[in-house]
Amino acid sequence: MHGYSQLRLGRQSIDNQVYLLTFTTHMRVKHFQKWENAKCLSQCIESETILKQSKALCWVVMPDHVHILMQLGNSDTISNYIRRLKAGAKRQLLINDKLWAKGFHDRAIRKESELLPAARYIVANPLRAGLVKSVKDYPFWNSVWV
């Protein structure tokens, strides 16, 4: 078993559990290098229609991938949330080509002490990628801790 199938092994969706989610664009095309596209995806991430009862605690939109620290709502699944987000963004962006790579990576945050380090990891992505010298200069992120 390889690739996408490997990611699904042992995947569980637990109500109110916090997950670190990562997913990429198809072929790592930098669709979100365009300001309009990144802004649109940012709005989708925070959309109540997409979130339903889930909460986006921290997130960043990178040129070719997304990281989200989210708390799963009652009676939802990680897969359904990601499906709503990917479909909603594709619909809003009016991209005819394949936008998203298949699948996503998830990691359950099991201890409260892991929350802030995970959020810092997410917010620091643009710095590590050399896109900005300060996170204050990167507009496509948000965190409940700020």
Q: What is the pLDDT of residues 11-60, one digit of tens each?
A: 678 888 999 999 999 999 999 999 999 999 999 999 999 999 999 999 99
Query: Model's pTM, two decimal places?
Result: 0.91
Whether 104 contacts 23, CB under 8 Å: yes
Supply the CATH classification number for the domain 3-130.
Answer: 3.30.70.1290
Q: Where are the beta strands (DSSP E) in the chain?
A: 18-24, 55-61, 65-71, 105-109, 141-143
Give the start-to-end residue ranges of the domains of the chain.
3-130
Taking the C-alpha atoms of residue 146 and residue 136, their distance in angstroms, rounded to an integer, is: 11
Each residue's pLDDT tens digit, 81-140:
999 999 999 999 988 889 999 999 999 999 999 999 999 999 999 999 999 999 999 999
The residues, ordered by sequence, that sit 6+ positions from 31 with a Cβ below 8 Å of its Cβ are: 25, 37, 63, 64, 93, 95, 99
